Amino acid sequence: MKVRRIGLLTGGGDCPGLNAVIRAVIKTALNEHDMEVVGIEDGYEGLVLRRSRPLGLDDASGILTVGGTLLGTSNRSNPFGYPVERGGKLVFEDRSDDVAAYVQDLKLDALVCVGGDGTLSIAHKLFVERGIHSIGIPKTIDNDLYGTDQTVGFDSALTTATEAIDKLHTTAQSHHRVMVIEVMGRNAGWLALAAGLTGGGDVILIPEIPFKMESVCKVMEERVRRGKRFSIIVVAEGAYPEGGEPFVKRRVADSMESARLGGVGEWVGREVERMTGMETRVTTLGHLQRGGTPTPFDRLLATRFGREAVKLVAKGEVDRMVALRGTEITSVPLGEVAGRQRKVPPDSHWIACARSLGVGLGE
C-alpha cells in the first residue's frame, strides 16, 4: 500500500536537534515520496485534543539551527493515562480511543514519533492495542535509550556542559575553590561522565557507581598535597551515595512523567566543605542543557534519522525505531526499546578512561 499521509509529533522534554529532525522528515517525505505531512501539536496532547496542521516545505525552511521544536511538546499527555481534573482531583483517563479516531479522521497511514522512552513506549502501545503504525526517532539529552548508540540532543547538551565546566575552571583556579557542577541525565550517567571527561573534571559521580564521600574528599586532599588548590566535581543529577537513594526534587503522579531529580550537587558541596574545610560552590546547570542551537553532530544525526524514518514508512515498515550503531543508521523493533533504559555499563570505555586518567569516581 502506498503511504500517502504521515503524522509527525515530538514528545517528552525538548532538546537541540528536534527542528532538524522535523526538517529532514518534511523534506524527504515531500521531495522523494510525494507524501503529505501533518504536524501534531504538543506531542500526544495534539492527538487527544485534535490539534494539528499541515506541514509544507516552507515550514522546513530556516529551522535547521533553531533549538526546541516548532511543533511544541508535552511530557504530561499519555493517551493511556491522560490527566484530567474531576471534582478538584487529578485522575488519569484512557483516551486512546480518541487518538485512534483522530488518526483515522486525519487519514494518517503512519506516525513518526520523535521522543524518549515515554514517547516511544506509547507509540509501541498504540500499535499493539490500537493498530496505529509508527516509526520512532530517538532523542534525549540523557542518551539513555536502549537500541541506539546515541540519541539526538546528547551531543549539544554535552557541548553546553563542557563549556560550563571550562568556565567554572577559571573561578576554581582563581579562588582556590572546589566547584561542584550538577548536570542532568536522569538515572543514567552518560552526560555527566562525558562532560566530566571532556571538561577535565577531577571527580565524576554517576548513578551507575554509588559514591563514598571519603573517596571523593581524598581526591581533593591529594590534589592539595600536589599543589593543586582547586578541584572540579561533576555530579549527575541521578547520582547518590552508597547505601542511599537518588535525590528527588518532586514526585509526580503522572503515568508518563518521571520523578524530578535534583539536589545531589548541593549535598555533595556541603559534605565536601564539612569534611575538608575547603571553600566550595555549587552550580546546577539545569535546563540550559536543553537549549540553544544543535551542534553539527546533532544536525547530521537528526538529518540521517529523519530521512531514515520516512524511508522505513515508505517501505511499509512499522513499529520500529531508527538507530545509530557505530557509524551506521539502522533500525530496531520498538518493542525492544519500550520500557528499557540504557545505563553506562561497568565495562564502559569511558569509565576505563576516567580510571586511567586518575579521575575520582567516588569508588
Q: Is 185 in the site for ligand F6P (CB under 6 A)?
A: yes
* Size of the residue set binding ligand F6P (CB under 6 A): 13
Closest separation in Å from C-beta 290 to ligand F6P:
6
Q: Which is nearer to ligand F6P, 7 or 13 (CB)?
A: 13
Closest separation in Å from C-beta 330 to ligand F6P:
24
* The binder of ligand F6P chosen from 18, 184, 194, 344 (CB under 6 A): 184
* Chain centre distance of CA 166: 22
**Residue whose Cβ sits closest to ligand F6P:** 184
Closest separation in Å from C-beta 137 to ligand F6P:
15
d(CA 54, CA 350): 44
Binding mask 24-53 for ligand F6P (x = CB under 6 A): ------------------------------
Select the span of 20-28, 29-37, 183-191, 323-331 touching ligand F6P (CB under 6 A).
Answer: 183-191
Cell numbers for 40: 501534531
Closest separation in Å from C-beta 249 to ligand F6P:
9
* The binder of ligand F6P chosen from 260, 281, 304, 343 (CB under 6 A): 260
For 293, phi then psi, to 5°, come to -75, 145
Q: Is 147 in the site for ligand F6P (CB under 6 A)?
A: no
Which 125-144 positions form the footprint of ligand F6P (CB under 6 A)? 140-142
Catalytic residue among 42, 59, 117, 142: 142
Cell numbers for 247: 535525590
Spatial CA neighbour of 267 closest among 323, 229, 211, 222: 211
* The binder of ligand F6P chosen from 21, 55, 261, 324 (CB under 6 A): 261
* The binder of ligand F6P chosen from 124, 125, 133, 186 (CB under 6 A): 186
Quick check: 141 and 295 in contact, CB under 8 A?
no
Spatial CA neighbour of 276 closest among 191, 165, 360, 186: 360
Q: Which is nearer to ligand F6P, 40 or 261 (CB)?
A: 261
Which 211-240 positions form the footprint of ligand F6P (CB under 6 A)? 237
* Chain centre distance of CA 292: 15
Q: Which is nearer to ligand F6P, 164 or 184 (CB)?
A: 184
Closest separation in Å from C-beta 276 to ligand F6P:
29
Q: Is 202 a catalytic residue?
A: no
Closest separation in Å from C-beta 101 to ligand F6P:
29
Binding mask 292-331 for ligand F6P (x = CB under 6 A): ----------------------------------------
CA angle 19, 21, 26 (to 5 degrees): 95
List b or e across 196-231, with b for residues whose CB sees 16 or more CB atoms inside 10 angstroms: bbbbebbbbbbbbbbbebeebbbbbeebeeeeebbb
Q: Which is nearer to ligand F6P, 125 or 290 (CB)?
A: 290
* The binder of ligand F6P chosen from 27, 125, 290, 311 (CB under 6 A): 290
Compute how many other C-beta atoms are within 10 angstroms of the C-beta atom of residue 40: 29
Spatial CA neighbour of 205 closest among 178, 177, 233, 179: 233
Quick check: 220 and 268 in contact, CB under 8 A?
no
For 280, residues 6+ apart whose C-beta sits below 8 A from its C-beta are 177, 178, 179, 180, 269, 270, 272, 273
**Maximum Cα–Cα distance across the chain:** 71
* The binder of ligand F6P chosen from 7, 11, 13, 136 (CB under 6 A): 13
CA 266 to each of CA 2, 180, 241: distance values in angstroms, whole numbers, following the listed order = 56, 8, 13
* Chain centre distance of CA 309: 19
Any idea which residues carry the catalytic annotation?
Answer: 142
Q: Which residues bind ligand F6P (CB under 6 A)?
A: 13, 75, 116, 140-142, 184-186, 237, 260-261, 290
